[in-house]
Amino acid sequence: MIIKVLIFGSNGLVGKAVNKAFADNGSFEVFSSIRSDTNLFSYEETKNKIDETQPDLIVNAAARVGGIYANNTKRTEFILENLKINMNILEAAIEIPETKIINLGSSCIYPLDAENPIKESSFMDGKLEPTNSPYAMAKLSAIELGRSISNQYGHKIINLMPTNLYGPNDFFAEKDSHVIPGLIYRMHLAKISEESVFKIWGSGEPLREFLYVEDLAKAILFIVENNIETDLINIGSSEEVSIKELGFLLKEIIDYKGKIEFDTSKPDGNPRKLLDSSIINSHGWESTINLEEGLIRTYSWYKENILD
């Protein structure tokens, strides 16, 4: 039987990877939804898209995203836009309890002082990291709304909390990007301009876990194919690196010849954020693309697609 899949946000970093993973599998018929065909800020348009496609599975990969600078300076946009997207998709699906929903969140939902590696049980167990708390609150609200709908109407809604994602089709910019695409963008420019010093925000000491986006797409496909229905699941690589180590690894990959310095006047954010992915690992899924390989692939994609 062919399973019909509707992917919201299918033109973004996650959406394109998920779209490809399902489209390459003969068991699925994929319906892609992008901003130009469906305004997810509109309940009516969102519901119409669901009614048109009658999906067996909805993947919510739509979100307003960005790095520490964007999260901290556009706080209103981040909470409002993400709340609207998530509420409209989930409310529009209330009348179709037979449709499974994969709702993508973020590891930033977990408390600032959560014990590392962070287990799913840390959900709503403390204060959020201040620089991205509006985005985190929107994602927390989506989980709570999904659980309420599941409890009341019988839906199967699975909330996936991936660690920091990167890869092809990411958003590469000076200030509004996540850390990896932001560093690639700025360091490549510094290389071309032959700048002698490259500055990275913060002390470089915070520890982060990164996941290549194709691994997340494969995890979603794995969860669907294996009928895993745990309602909150971490998805991580279990590979931890400091921002300083990341900077010097990118320096080597990009072949930047200058000196790297750290701007300690800028915020570090959460000092450490490593997910406990033992639930998904116990089912047999593990990430396959290590950080160095993923960064090489991402920089190659950037040069071939963004710089043309």
What was the pLDDT predicted at 66?
A: 77
The pLDDT tens digits for 51-78 are 999 999 999 999 998 777 777 888 999 9
**Angle in degrees, CA 192, 196, 198, rounded to 5:** 80
Helix (H) or strand (E) holding 200: strand 197-201
* Catalytic one of 69, 135, 256, 299: 135
All residue ranges of the chain with pLDDT < 50 are none
Give the pTM: 0.94
What was the pLDDT predicted at 131?
A: 86
Phi, psi of 235 (to 5 degrees): -130, 105
Cis amide prior to 117 (ω within 30 degrees): yes
Which tokens go with 239? 């590979």
What was the pLDDT predicted at 308?
A: 58
Using CA atoms, how far apart are residues 84 and 36, in angstroms rounded to an integer?
17
What was the pLDDT predicted at 159?
A: 98
Helix (H) or strand (E) holding 60: strand 57-60
Q: Is 299 a catalytic residue?
A: no
What was the pLDDT predicted at 68?
A: 72
Helix axis angle, 291-305 relative to 243-254, nearest 10°?
50
CB burial of residue 306 (10 Å; 0-12, 13-18, 19+): middle
